[in-house]
Chain A
Amino acid sequence: MTLCANERARYRRHLSLPEIGPSGQQRLKDTRVLVVGTGGLGCPAALYLAAAGIGTLGLVDFDRVELSNLQRQVLFGTEDLGQLKVEAARRRLLALNPEIAVLTHALTLRADNVCEVIEGYDIVLDGSDRLSTRYLVNDACVLLGRPLVTAAIHRFEGQAMTYIPGLGPCYRCLFPQVEEGAVASCAEAGVLGVLPGVLGTIQANEAIKIAAGIGAPLIGRLLSYDALELSFTELPVSRRHDCRVCGEHPQITAPRDIGPACDTETLAARRLSAIDLRDLLASAESAGPPLVLIDVREPREFAARHLEGARNIPLRELESRLAEFAGAGDPVFLCRSGHRSLLACAIAWRAGIAAPGHLEGGLLAWAAEVDADFEVASD
């Protein structure tokens, strides 16, 4: 398929660049890019990839648009609230450029579907907000031989790096293993709205370079950006010979789920369904052992609505406030979706609390299964 008259007009500024020109633009059109996560990073990345004429864009996200997203997730408008992000994004991208195809994957990537999704694309951009997804996507890209442009953000700081199969280090070479609770998420720590715009467009830039076969990708170079100083720092990253997925003797030969938090800490967590918790609360009221409900959401979320008897200790403060409830009974951690509460279990377990519990699916599950009138504040 060659470029039609409309496309030649649309991409005129690209066609004027000797480094791209008609053949480079055709390469962009023939390239399929998967954007994992249509959040702060994925939105600007997808917007620029669509504008640039990447022929097929895939979007992965299971979430729906919330008001708190609009401060940085520039594909969405107020009218999109409550809608699936991938569908709202698809409409916006096709309005920008109807010459491209936008495919949606409204799902959670897991070990049993990640390869099937990624196989349909040439380049992957990871803008997910979970470390478990980052490792899953990295491992799948290594195993399938797909280039991966990864980026992450926190408050005023961002990082980006590109993996090209056989040419440089992967994400596991950079960080072999991460205790997810060790690093606060943007939901807990906050993020400058414009920050993912900077990093997301860097990801799009990398994808376009790889697709067009121009320039020098961020292979083996970690780009660290600080918005407060407006400084970019580039640091070398070497391939690890003992990397578990791309090393000389890989132990990971197929994608595997590692859970939202890594390894043993979360295995110790008691995972309670909303029905389990309801029954436990009822038995504790009669004669059962004391149940200590710790809501690890931010105070604003807690103030909007919380379970009776719950006390608020934001996740970011948990480590320093464990003594407030140690010995009072078995803690059950609560949050909006079950993500932060599982991290809280890991923190508590590491501190020696034998059987921390958490509400799986969070208060959203409570609202869905136990109390339909329970309104859960956005994070």
Chain B
Amino acid sequence: MSCTVHIPSPLRSYTAGALKVPADGTTLEEVLASLEGRFTGIRFRLVDEQSRIRPHIRFYVNAREAQELSAPVGTSDTVHVICALTGG
């Protein structure tokens, strides 16, 4: 069973333009691994080499912020990835 991940605009080049993609996992870390398996390179845009969430990225699971990659993700949950935007 999978959750749904909302991909922010700056990272949709990894998902062939898809705004929402399914991913597997029971934690945010596993969800990111699932995404990486399908969209190579996307994980590194979200977390750094030390697996820290990058400072211009925020994760929300069902509209609640997840500050750790160990945050649980349930079946049918919605994960929002928010990325700082620069345009004006």
Contact = CB atoms under 8 A, between A and B. Distances in A.
Interface of A: 37, 39-42, 126-131, 134, 151-159, 174-180, 182-186, 189, 191, 196, 222, 224, 226, 228-229, 233-238, 316
B85 interface: yes
B72 to A, nearest CB: 18
29 contacts: A39-B88, A40-B88, A129-B88, A131-B84, A134-B86, A153-B88, A155-B12, A157-B85, A158-B85, A159-B85, A174-B84, A175-B84, A177-B55, A177-B56, A178-B56, A182-B54, A183-B10, A183-B56, A185-B86, A185-B87, A186-B87, A189-B10, A233-B63, A235-B60, A235-B63, A236-B63, A236-B64, A236-B65, A237-B65
Contact of B9 (A128, A129, A154, A182): A154
Interface residues of B, number: 24
Nearest to B13: A316
B66 to A, nearest CB: 11
Contacts of A39: 88
A179 B87 contact: no
Interface of B: 6, 8-10, 12-13, 19, 45, 54-56, 58, 60, 63-65, 80, 82-88
Instruction: List 3 tightest A-B contacts by C-beta distance, closest first.
Output: A186-B87, A157-B9, A152-B85
A171 to B, nearest CB: 9
A17 B26 CA distance: 50
Nearest to A41: B88
A151 B77 CA distance: 27
Given A176-B55, A178-B55, A235-B65, A228 B19 contact: yes
Contacts of B88: 37, 39-42, 126-129, 151-153, 186, 196
A192 B42 CA distance: 24
Contacts of B86: 129-131, 134, 152, 154, 180, 183-186
A77 B77 CA distance: 47
B57 to A, nearest CB: 8
Contacts of A42: 88
B87 A152 contact: yes
A251 to B, nearest CB: 15
Nearest to A185: B86
B9 A156 contact: yes
Nearest to A156: B9
A261 to B, nearest CB: 11
Contacts of B54: 179, 182
B19 A229 contact: yes
